[in-house]
Chains A and B, each alone.
Chain A
Amino acid sequence: MKQNRFLLALLSMTFIFSACEKDDGEGNDEEVITTLSVKLTPVGGGATSTFSFDDPDGPGGIAPTVDAIQLAANTVYNVSLELFNKTLNPPANLTTEISGEAEAHRFYFEPSASGNIQVTGLDLDGANIPLGLNSVWSTGNAANGTMKIVLRHYSGNPPNKAVSDPVNSNKSSTDIEVTFNTVVN
Chain B
Amino acid sequence: MKYFICLLFAFLSFYSNAQECVSRLSGHVHNSFTHENLDRATITIVELNRVKITNNRGDFVFDSLCNGNYTIRVVYNQQDSIFQSISVYGNRHLDIDLPLLQNTLSGITVSAQRTHQVTGIKKELSGRELEETRGQTLGEALSRINGVSMLQTGATISKPVIHGLHGSRILTINNGVRQEGQQWGNEHAPEIDPFIANRLTVIKGVEELRYGSDAIGGVILVDPRPLRNLPGYQAELNTVYFSNNRQYVVSAQYEQQLTKRPEFTYRLQGTLKKGANTTTPHYRLNNTGNEEKNFSLSGVYRKNRFISELYYSFFDTRIGLFEGSHIGNLTDLEAAIASDKPDPVFTGENTYRIGRPYQRVQHHLVKSRSVFQTAGNHRFSFLLAAQFNDRQEFDVTRSQTTTRPQLDLGIFTVTEELTWETAGPVHFNRITGLTAMQQQNRYSGRYFIPDYNSNSWGLYHIERWNHLAWDAQAGIRIDHKNISTSRITGGGAVQEKNDFQYTTFASSLNIGNRIDEHWRVNGTLTLSNRAPHVNELLSNGIHHGTSTYEQGNRDLKPERSLNFSFNNTFTSESGNVILEGSFYNNNIKNFIYLQPKPDEPVLTIAGAFPKNVYEQADVRLRGFDLLASFRPFQNFEWNNKYSLLRAKNNNINDWLIRMPSDRFQSEFIYNLTDRKKIKNAYISTEAIYVWEQTRVPDESNGKQDYKLPPSGYFLWNADVSLSVLAGKFPLIFGIGLRNILNTTYRDYLNAMRYFTDEAGRNIQFRLRIPINQTF
Contact = CB atoms under 8 A, between A and B. Distances in A.
B489 interface: yes
B445 A173 contact: no
Interface stretch (A69-77, A130-138, A155-163): A155-163
Interface string A107-146: 0000000000000000000000000000000000000000
A22 B606 CA distance: 28
Given A87-B490, A89-B492, A173-B328, A31 B406 contact: yes
Interface string B93-134: 000000000000000000000000000000000000000000
B326 interface: yes
Tell me which of B324, B542, B606 has the highest count of chain A C-beta atoms within 10 A of its own C-beta. Answer: B606
Given A23-B444, A31-B397, A168-B335, A178 B605 contact: yes
A35 B606 CA distance: 11
Interface stretch (B44-52, B176-184, B363-371, B739-747): B363-371
Contact of A59 (B355, B492, B549): B549
A176 B332 CA distance: 12
Interface string B386-419: 1010100001111110101010111010000000
A154 B535 CA distance: 31
B602 interface: yes
Contact of B603 (A17, A64, A87, A160): A64
Contacts of A58: 604
B356 A155 contact: yes
B345 interface: yes
Interface in B452-500: 486-493
A128 to B, nearest CB: 20
Contact of A13 (B386, B605, B609): B386
Given A101-B400, A174-B328, A25 B488 contact: yes
Nearest to A23: B444
B402 A30 contact: yes
A34 B492 CA distance: 16
Contacts of A173: 326-329, 332, 396
Contacts of B406: 29, 31
A147 interface: no
A171 to B, nearest CB: 5
A63 interface: yes
Given A26-B446, A97-B399, A104-B400, A87 B491 contact: yes
B398 A153 contact: yes
A94 B607 CA distance: 19
A29 B606 contact: no
B491 A88 contact: yes
Contacts of A164: none
Contact of B606 (A89, A104, A175): A175
Interface in B293-314: 301, 308, 310
B605 A55 contact: yes
B446 A34 contact: no
B343 interface: yes
B489 A105 contact: no
A46 interface: no
B66 interface: no
A28 B491 contact: no
Tell me which of B356, B404, B602, B603 has the highest count of chain A C-beta atoms within 10 A of its own C-beta. Answer: B603
A168 B442 contact: no
Contacts of B301: 2
Contacts of B31: none
Nearest to A32: B446
A43 interface: no
B487 to A, nearest CB: 7
A82 interface: no
B329 A174 contact: yes
A4 to B, nearest CB: 11
Tell me which of A27, A63, A98, A173 has the highest count of chain B C-beta atoms within 10 A of its own C-beta. Answer: A173
B492 A31 contact: no
A76 to B, nearest CB: 28
13 contacts: A3-B368, A3-B370, A25-B489, A55-B605, A60-B604, A61-B540, A155-B323, A170-B335, A170-B339, A171-B345, A173-B332, A173-B396, A178-B607
Given A31-B406, A176-B605, 13 more contacts: A21-B442, A26-B489, A28-B445, A29-B406, A30-B404, A31-B395, A53-B605, A59-B549, A59-B602, A87-B490, A100-B399, A174-B329, A174-B331
The 5 closest A-B pairs by CB, nearest first: A89-B491, A174-B328, A25-B488, A170-B343, A173-B328
Interface of A: 2-3, 6, 9-10, 13-14, 17-18, 20-36, 53, 55, 57-61, 63-64, 87-90, 94, 97-98, 100-101, 104-105, 152-153, 155-157, 160, 168, 170-171, 173-178
